[in-house]
Amino acid sequence: MPTRNLTRTVAVALAVLIALATSSCGSSGRELRDPAPGATAPPRRPAPAGTLGSSTTLGTVFALTTDAWAPGAEIPERYTCDGTNVSPPLVISQIPPGTAELAIVVTDPDANDFVHWVVAGIPPSTTAIEEGTVPSGAVQASTSARTVGWFGPCPPPGSTHHYDFVLYALAAPSGVVEGQDPAGAIDAIERAPQAAPPAVMTGTYER
């Protein structure tokens, strides 16, 4: 082959190789391009599971509830001094690990924290308390009315009072005994180590 033709062939081959290399580096399919008219940015990826705010879902929180009234609503007359004056049915959800004892304190903050009920020594396996009962093995302290057991809402006529039902998960026994004075019983419950922050349920009543 003549030298001149060989030189031309080599030059053409080099030019093709350079063009291909340039095309490969600059056109990977991932370069930034102007969006088409009316197009929007792609949606953000959802946060991965386990990030802040994803672990607290319905049914996974230590709680005290009842099916006798809605949260914060009026307590039915049945559970008050105007009715049969029995304790309401209660449901306990998601008892924390390490709980040695459950306790419930019911007070009226509109009447200088009048104590309506103190139940301690509730077994940590308890998930429901039936109307008018206390779990086996539990003890009841005195109320502000100097009675033992449930003392239903009984506010002065014409005023609405609020009632706080506080559920404690204790990591050690409270030591509360049957008929103990309410101040001493509540102090013992609050001083005991806690397996979790207390759960609170409220209700109202007006006569």
Q: Are 144 and 115 in contact (CB under 8 A)?
A: yes
pTM for this prediction:
0.72
Which of 141, 142, 150 is closest to 81 using CA atoms? 150
Residue 59's pLDDT band (boundaries 50, 70, 90)? low
pLDDT at 60: 63
Q: What is the pLDDT of residues 81-116, one digit of tens each?
A: 999 999 999 999 999 999 999 999 999 999 999 999
The Cα–Cα gap between 36 and 27 comes to 18
Structure-token match 């009842």, residue found: 66
**Domains observed in the chain:** 66-206 (3.90.280.10)
For the cut 50, the answer to whether the pLDDT of residue 32 exceeds it is: no
